[in-house]
Amino acid sequence: MKVGATMEILRFDSQEPKAPRRKKSSRGLLMVGLVATLFGISSAFASSTITINTDNKVNLGQGVVKVSGCDTSINVVPTTAMSLNEAGTPTFYLDKVVLSNIDTQTTNSEGYGCAEKTFDIQIFHEDTDHVTKPYLCSALEVHSSFTVGYDTDPETLISSKSCSVDKISFTMPSQATFASHTNPIFTLHFDHAPSDINYITLVSRS
């Protein structure tokens, strides 16, 4: 019975008129397989969703940096870094604020020159009531590490930094300190500070 069935199939395949029909069937199966494959790929892409920062905005670098006092062209650059929050979610935080292009000379007759001046820095944001206000020191979590990088030397630790209420302060060294380093780069480090920033103010005082 099995042999008869096999012979019947062989006789059916050997008939010439049936050959084109078999090819059509193979082509149809191929197209169905291709559609299924594409559908599978499409489904894979559609279901791959990555959420970073829990959909919260990162408003870094926008707004205005206000500078007054001993220099009118200081560069203030905030930088973020991604880290896990307490819930284990990838979140962007304010990592550091870099100050550069500072006039390190002693104050001249026109009032310019930042040597031995104290800088006060405030970082502003918009709260839930849409009121712009500076972050408190408790929210900024200013890191104990405060460094200055020179033109060719590695970063050097500076300890004369403080944070009171909502204001970060540090005092510039004397002009003699930068006799051979005309463009020091000061770096304020933070631990998990908020990255949503409207603007930063930098004010110098004696």
Q: pLDDT digit string (tens) for 64-122?
A: 555 557 887 888 889 988 887 777 778 888 999 998 888 888 888 888 899 899 999 99
Provide the residue type at 170 as one letter. F
- 144: pLDDT confidence band, cut at 50, 70 and 90? confident
- Residue 194: pLDDT above 80? yes
| Nearest-angstrom CA–CA distance, 85 and 91 | 6
| Nearest-angstrom CA–CA distance, 202 and 57 | 24
- Residue 11: pLDDT above 60? no
Provide the residue type at 106 as one letter. T
pLDDT at 147: 86
Any residues with CB less than 8 A from the CB of 63 and at least 6 apart, and which?
A: 124, 197, 198, 199, 200
Structural domain spans, the chain: 2-47, 55-205
pTM: 0.65
- 123: pLDDT confidence band, cut at 50, 70 and 90? very high
- Burial (CB < 10 A; 0-12, 13-18, 19+), residue 135, is buried
Structural contact between residues 80 and 123, judged by C-beta atoms closer than 8 angstroms = no
Q: Please give the structure tokens belonging to residue 120.
A: 């006060």
* Length of the chain measured in residues: 206
Quickly tell me which residue has 């005309």 as its tokens: 182
